[in-house]
Structure 1
Amino acid sequence: MEALGSLLWVCCHTQELGSDHLGFPLSRRPSPSGGAIHPVHLLVLLPQENCWYRYDPKEHALHETPSKLDATIVRSSMQTIVAAPSATLFILAAEPEMTAAKYEASASLVWRDAGVILGILAIAAEALDLSFCPLGVTGEPWVSQLLEQPGLFGVGCAFVGATPSS
């Protein structure tokens, strides 16, 4: 948990809040985002657990997220891509309407934000001696079913965990 906390702090925590003229606060974080909007949320499934967490970048905390979606089904499906039974699963859930509040044809910015986050997580994981593997899937159809927040869509998944030598 300490290594996971370090990874999330280095990559995702809110450093500064800005204007909320778009209906939500803009923010400065270690990972850049088009227009400082940060429309990608991080969902976390810890190893050996069957509950979902949502990373809160302002509080630097994991909050348990009630869901009707059985986490074991999602984990099992991801294990068919890469067998990593003791890894933490990250699912990136985008809220595209946030980016659309500022930009026309904003979909590509959302996908770029997701790619940047995955890249920064991968680099930081290496520096922290953690294994990191983007899974090459979006996280759909699970994200749409996972949270009781309409308008969220999966934009990436990854496994993170201790390296075999750790």
Structure 2
Amino acid sequence: MHVAKPNHLTPQAGFTLIELIMVIVLLGVLAATAAPRFINVSSEANTAVLKAMGGAIRSAASMVYAKSLIQGVSGSVLANIDLNGDGSPDIETRYGYPSGSRDIGISKAMEDSLATDWMWSTDYARTKFYLTNASFVHTSGLYINQVPIVATNCYLIYHHAVNAQTPATLEYVTSGC
């Protein structure tokens, strides 16, 4: 018995090389247009987190100032106030607002908030307090020289009060967020 073979060839299923290249090109174009939007969202989120921490710092500084008013040292160039009523000084102030000290100034007022997610430092005169997200300097929970913080281009600076009429201020650097 003899089986006859069909005369026609069956078409092969699948994509041609040209079709695959076109799909890859199309995916590349889509990725190129979507990536900047994603990166921009990340930048905006990092900036928002930094500004939220700035709001917390501003609030803590206001609470310390209120306590310095109560204790009668809001006009002093340099003073220490007792926050918890135990009789020992807790926070160093300048004109009633927390100083820029990384040990006993604004960082002490923010102690619990800065636990592990933030990196902070001060200048040598303790007039400025630098703060950035710890993930930007790849370490956390401790203070560090301000040079790595400034290198992130995503940080805030707390400037302590310079006189009795000028409160503490915040400055944001967000070009690297």
Is TM more than 0.5 here? no
Looking at CA atoms only, which structure, 1 or 2, has the larger radius of gyration?
Answer: 2
TM-score by length of 2: 0.26
Task: Select the structure with the greater relative contact order (CA < 8 A; seq sep ≥ 6).
Answer: 1
Higher percent of residues as strand: 1
TM-score by length of 1: 0.27
